[in-house]
Amino acid sequence: MICSSCHHSLILSTPVRTKRQTSCHRRRFRLTVFFAAGNCYNDRSESDKSGCSSEFVQNILLRSLAGFLSLALVSSNYPPLAAESLPSPAEVCQEEVAAGDEVSSASATNDDLVEEAWEVVNESFIAGAGRRAWSPEKWLQEKEYIFQNNIKTRSRAHNVIQKMLASLGDPYTRFLSPAEFSKMAKYDVTGIGINLREVPDENGVAKIKVLGVILDGPAHSAGVKQGDELLSVNGLDIKGKSAFEVSSMLQGPKETFVTVEVRHGDCGLAHSIKIQRQNVARTPIFYRLEKMGEGNVPVGYVHIKEFNALARKDLITALKNLLDYGVSYLVLDLRDNLGGLVQAGIEVAKLFLGKGDTVIYTAGRDAEMQKAIIADTSPFFSRPIIVLVNNRTASASEIVASALHDNCKAVIVGERTYGKGLIQSVYELFDGSGLVVTIGKYVTTNHMDINGNGIEPDFSRFPALNDVSNYLSQCQMQRVGSVKV
Distance CA 68, CA 279 (A): 19
SS3 145: helix
Catalytic residue among 85, 124, 247, 395: 395
Any alpha helices (H) in 127-272, and if so which ranges? Answer: 136-146, 154-166, 178-185, 218-222, 243-250
420 in active site: yes
Distance CA 471, CA 463 (A): 10
Neighbouring residues of 148: CB distance < 8 A, sequence distance ≥ 6: none
The tally of CA atoms less than 13 A away on the side-chain side of residue 176 is: 25
CA 96 to chain centre: 28
The answer to whether the beta carbons of residues 6 and 71 sit under 8 Å apart is yes
* DSSP letter assigned to residue 64: -
The answer to whether the beta carbons of residues 362 and 441 sit under 8 Å apart is yes
- Output the DSSP codes for 411-440: EEEES------EEEEEEE-TTS-EEEEEEE
SS3 60: helix
Distance CA 10, CA 338 (A): 23
Phi and psi at 118, nearest 5°, equal -60, -45
Catalytic residue among 420, 425, 433, 441: 420
395 in active site: yes
Q: Which residues are the active-site residues?
A: 395, 420
